Every structure is written in C-alpha cells, then in structure tokens.
Structure 1
Amino acid sequence: MLTVVFVILRLIPGDPAQLIVGLEASQERVQEVRRILGLDRPIVVQYVVWLKDLCVGNFGQSLRSREPVLSLLLSRLPVTFWLATLALIISVAIAFPLGIFSALRPWSWVDFFSAFAAQLGLAVPDFWLGILLMLLFAVKLQWLPLLGYVNFAENPVQWLRHLLLPAFALGFIRAAILTRMIRFSLLDELEKEYVMAARAKGLTERVVILHHTMRNALFPVITIAGLQFGYLLGGAIIIEQIFSLPGLGRLLLTAISGRDFPVVQGIVAFIAIVFTGLNLSIDLVYGILNPKISLRS
C-alpha cells in the first residue's frame, strides 16, 4: 500500500516546488527549491530514503510548512480519534438493541424495522446525511453549532455539541452494518445444540442469551466493529471537510491539493499501522472471550 501511494502521488500532475515558490518564479528558483526538498533525486532513491526513515519513526517533513509530519499527525489526531470513537459508540448503541431484538423476534415488526433501518443506512451516503443533519439541527432548529471545533479542555459541553452531528452521520452508516451482523450471528448461535441443552437444563432465556449465546455471537461482531473503527479514522475525510473539523481528513485533503508528499505518505502509513494494531487487538480479545483460543493456536 505504501508503495502504491508513493508512486501514485508522483503521477499526479503538478510540481510541489512550483506550488511553493509560485507560478511566477524563475526556473532557477524552482530547481533550487527542488534540491532543498530532495525532489531532484531519482524516485527510487527518494523511496528507499523514505522507507528507511519510516522504520525508525521518522515520517519526514512537510514540503510546505517544513514541520515534522509526525507533529502534524499528533496535533490533528485527537479530533479524528474522538470523532471516530463517538461515531462507534453511537453505532453500537443503535445496532445492539436492534440486532438483538430482531434476532430474538424474527419476522416481527421489530425485525422488519431493523431491516428497513439497516437498508436505509447502507443506501444513504454519510456526507449527504451530514448535510441533512446540518440543515435540520443547526440551521432550522439551531440546537447544535453548524461548523467548527472546540477543544475538550476549553469547554467539554461545546466539544460534545460540535461532534454530535458528524459523529451521528458516520455512526448511522456503521450501525446498519453492525445491526445485520449481530442479527445473523445471534440467529446462527440460537440454532446450535448447546443452546438447546442449556434450555433443557431449565436455564432462563435471559441466562441463555447473555451468558451463553452472546459470547460466541460477538466474535464476528468484534471483528467488524474493530475494522469499522479503523475505517472511521481513515475515512472521515468528507465529513471533517463538511463540518470544518481540523482532523486528519482535512489535513490529508490539504496535503493532496498542495502536493505535500510526505504528509500524505505519513497519513497513509499511520492508517496502515492503526489497521495492523486493530487486527492484533481483535485477536487478543478473542482469547479473552474464549479461553479455548490460545496464543499457540
């Protein structure tokens, strides 16, 4: 993935040095800036040097601001992290009740409502839903702020009010995926023999569902939820742009438009590391939920 992004960025029309010095600058000045930035070296050399620096935690420097890319990432990360976390909490709060009740009452009105809500969530783009939420709650009703961001340390209430609309726009789409996954997984577990045996022992339905069935049904759900969190960290670009949130998404768009190669590459590398860490965390959670799964297996 890093190789593909490195190559694609250099196929995009536009010279970063030309953008930095301006269109009216002389070619001598452009070549001087290219030399200072290291853009005059062969692409293979640039690629090897970048990978070498990346292995020691050096993400490089921004071509435009000359700031360390890692510092830029860390300064924007809290906004995207809390947006993704709140969106995941909203999606879980919506998906678990709908998914569980639809599995326990298949083909009931709850199941049909859950299926309709899931299909609606899958069909509606998150940016379009975000615009509708802005028009309703920020413009029409004026209950929530329209744009901007406030740090948690400055005003926790305003911080939450600024994140609610974009988080719901992202979380509603993910809730649709989790709802169907919870329903299918729980229905599959309810048809297995150990559930029949637990009921034959006289255990209440509450105990059967919560202490036996849900533990096994959560495995695919945890996998999807973990990966969805990774998608939220890397895929909130349009939502952050719409709501003017200073997160990784807006930083990525600015870097792409300004041909700031190190920043784009650094964000991609960071997302790759996050996905790898999430996959590892999911495997560890499997071992906690099911002691039969050991590290050796």
Structure 2
Amino acid sequence: MALVLIGLALQGVAFETIRTLLRLAVSPLWFLCVYAVITAATPLIRRCGAGRLVLVAFALVGAADLVRGLVGDLEWVGSLRWLNVLTGWLVPYALGVFRAAGGLSRRRHAAGLLVCGAAGLAGLVLWCGYPASMVGVPGASLSNLNPPSLAAVCFGLAQCGLGLLLCGPLRRLTGQPTGPVPSLAGRASDAARERATAGQFCWAVVAVLNLSAMTVFLWHQTSMIATTVFWLGFGQRRPGLHTAPEDPFWVAFRLAWIPVFACVLALFWLAFKDVEKSARRHPEIRSMSPKSPPDVIR
C-alpha cells in the first residue's frame, strides 16, 4: 500500500486524493479497537443487564445527537459525539448478548426491531437532515459512521430485527433432517447416492467465509481501492468506477464491477489467510461435523 501511495505522489496525484485513499484503506482498523473493548466488557454487560444497557446506550447516542441539533457543530459537541463510538456499537452488541441469554425469543420482538428501526431511520433521513448513506462520504457535512449517529444505530436495529426474522428459515435451510440415526451399514450403502443439498452448500460457504471473516473485513476496501487505482492508470474514467452516481446506469455499471472487486479480494485472501490459521486449529472447529452445522447464524 505504501508503494502505491508513493507511486501516486510521484505521478502528481493531489494530496487530498492520496489522503482519502489512505483513510479508506486503514479505516477498518479502528473498529478492531472498539470490538476488543466491547468484547472484553462482555461479563460486565451480562452483570449489568444487557437489555437495560441497550436502552441506556441508545439514549446516550440520541442525547449526543440532540445536543448537536440544538447547539450546532461546536468543537466540544464534536468531542462529545465521539462517545458514540462506544455507545453506538454497544447497542447491537448488547442486543446480541441479550439474545444469547434467551431474550427476543418471539417473532414479534424481531418484527418490532425491524419496524421501529426502519421507521426511525426513515424519519431521521427525511425530516432531520441525516444523510441516507450509512457510511462516510468524502465532502459530506455529516457522517453516519464517523462517529456513529442515531441514524446508524436505527439502521443497525433494523438489521438485527431482519436477521432475527430470517434466523428460523435460514436454520431450516442449512440444517439437517431430523429422525433416527441410520446404522453404519446403512450410511455406507447410502453414501454413493447422497448428494449435497442446497442448504448444505450454503452452510459450507458461510462456514468457509467465517474462517476468514477478519481477513475479508480488513481487506475489502483495499481491494476496491486497488481496482480503482489500477484502472485509473490507463488514463480513462471507467463508468461505475471513476464516475459520480448521477443516473440509474451508474448502479448497473457498479454491480458489474463487483465480481472484479471480489477477485482482487480473493487474491488478498490467499496472501493473508494464514494469519487466521489459528482459528482453523481450534478444537471446536476440528471436531465440527458436516452432519451438525455450527450456529453460524445469530
């Protein structure tokens, strides 16, 4: 990455452009710090009551954004909103801890999260001036992610609700048929006739991706930037890659670039997947059987 940035500087690329590319490349790293802090605080979250912490963290995010709306973008307000880095991400994490403890067990709970989160997001975007993009956009006056805003938290709640609603169908899709366990002789005679079902294939894809989830997360933006810079070197602006999203055709061109991004990301995965090799050596993973898929959907 450093060599690429040096090459861009030697080619006369503007400093602001190089700075933006660098920020996009390293931006996934800051989340690791937040993730480590919140994960380490899991026992405390359980003792304090995960359900109550969801409400408290949500209220703190809303209060920080309300102060910004009332007094404007003052320096101390900007500093105050950086507390949302912890409280904003604590909302979905504590919600997951609450779910793991047996909460949100009914479909109406999931539907409530989806409806309330989506309604809150729509209201904030339509009437409160929040940007529609849930990621930071260079040049925008407000970012929903840097630090997390109330709109981003509502979006996360809607995602959690949708995930919980899909949890049952996805479990059935990736699960195995119930019934008496066949004998060894019976399984041997049926082995030649058995073929992987669509559900087993989906489970295998998810399981493989989970083994390299951190690698994919850390390098997905770099793969996009590398593709963008590479094609920029040919001296032509490619639609959907170097052009602004000003018409519906841009979406079609952008979708066409996604397989290219995926191929570049696969190269990064091949180069850095060994960093997560220790996860593959975990005893729970070694003892994993295709007949009993793990709880990969939470």
Q: State TM-score, norm by structure 1.
A: 0.32
Larger helix proportion of the pair: 1
Larger Rg: 1
Q: State TM-score, norm by structure 2.
A: 0.32
